[in-house]
Chain A
Amino acid sequence: MVSSRISFILEMTRRDFVERFAGSILGSLWAFIFPLVNLLVYLIVFGKIIGARLPGTSDMYAYGIYIAVGIIPWGSFSNTVTRSTNIFSDKKNIITKLNTPLPSLFVHVSLSEALTFIISITLMFIILALKGASFHCGYFLLPFVFYLQQILAIGIGLLTASLSVFITDIRQLVSVVMQLWFWFTPIIYVVDILPDFAQKLMVLNPMFYIVDGYHNIFVYGAYPVFKPLIILTVISHLLLAFSYMTFRYLEKDIRDFL
């Protein structure tokens, strides 16, 4: 039972990855080309062409790295939430024809996004190594920060997916909220430039602590701030438990509606 679920999740993830580049000559190689081009754009455009500098650092590429290490995890988070929200309508054919374990679909989305994240972060490591950056123990925490971020994403996605079957507006609402959330998270700007009231509001943004964790590890050579991450871990798991409870309550109706 468990092994069949695992093979179902792995097969869905493999298909997702292969289908994304199906028919193209370079195939899966595009999965490396896209993030590589993005990373080089951030580093070259912001570092060399625009000449933007990160406050407190003299490194020419620091701002590019700052943006890249914020956007990569944000992309995974945002895609997981958005794709999870639409998962029941996107996989309607599979759900109605096969006896699909619905929670497995969320694991497959998260796994698929994790794969993209791993590729991008690996390329980032290669660029940092070529730049001569030194590696420290904070890097060991990267998988855990990402893991926490994905738990939060699945928690939100599972809830919105369950509700979006009955209220379709939720799909559009999630896209809008994610857009606003992106700009409310210090990914392309530094939190210090915000006015006082916005900095105080930032305490309520869970993605701030996660993105800040990545920034601390990659840009400042420091460790993430642990206390907010512990609180966020508990909140994310409570949210996921609540979402799962809601999903279990609605599961029969979801299948009937589809």
Chain B
Amino acid sequence: MIELFFITGWTVIVVLAGNFLRKRFLGAKRIYMLLALNCLYLVGIFGCYPLVLQISGKL
């Protein structure tokens, strides 16, 4: 269950940050910022998931 909480929580944080960036930047800059955020999102998932699994005792 903790895994699902982590994924949902991280997704909500990134979506909110994405919404903020979308309003703050315009044009190509916005695309690059969103791309960087997207990269951070996936790195966060793949990077922190093993830690979450360790916390829940599944790894």
Contacts and interface: CB of A to CB of B under 8 A. Distances in A.
Interface string A221-248: 0011010011001100100110010001
A248 B35 CA distance: 15
A229 B46 contact: yes
A233 B28 contact: no
Please classify the interface of chain B as helix (H, G, I), strand (E, B), loop, or mixed, using the class held by over half of its residues. helix
A237 B50 contact: no
15 contacts: A144-B42, A144-B45, A144-B46, A148-B42, A223-B49, A230-B43, A230-B47, A233-B43, A234-B43, A237-B38, A237-B42, A240-B35, A244-B28, A244-B35, A248-B28
Please classify the interface of chain A as helix (H, G, I), strand (E, B), loop, or mixed, using the class held by over half of its residues. helix
Contacts of B56: 137
Contacts of B7: 140
Interface of A: 2, 136-137, 140-141, 144, 147-148, 151, 223-224, 226, 229-230, 233-234, 237, 240-241, 244, 248
Interface residues of B, number: 22
B3 A147 contact: no
A220 to B, nearest CB: 14
Contacts of B59: 223
Nearest to A139: B3
A234 B46 contact: no
Contacts of A148: 42
Contact of A226 (B28, B38, B47): B47
A254 B43 CA distance: 33
Contact of B50 (A151, A226, A244): A226
Given A137-B58, A248-B28, A226 B46 contact: yes
Interface string B20-35: 0010000010011001
Interface in B1-19: 3-4, 7
Contacts of B22: 2
A49 B39 CA distance: 44
List the 3 shortest-distance A-B pairs measured between CB atoms, nearest first: A237-B39, A233-B42, A229-B46
A154 to B, nearest CB: 11
A226 B35 contact: no
Given A147-B42, A233-B42, A237-B39, A137 B3 contact: yes
A241 B42 contact: no
A148 B47 CA distance: 14
Contacts of A137: 3, 53, 56, 58
Q: Which of B3, B46, B47 has the most CB of A within 10 A?
A: B46
A59 B50 CA distance: 28
B34 to A, nearest CB: 11
Given A137-B58, A141-B49, A241 B35 contact: yes
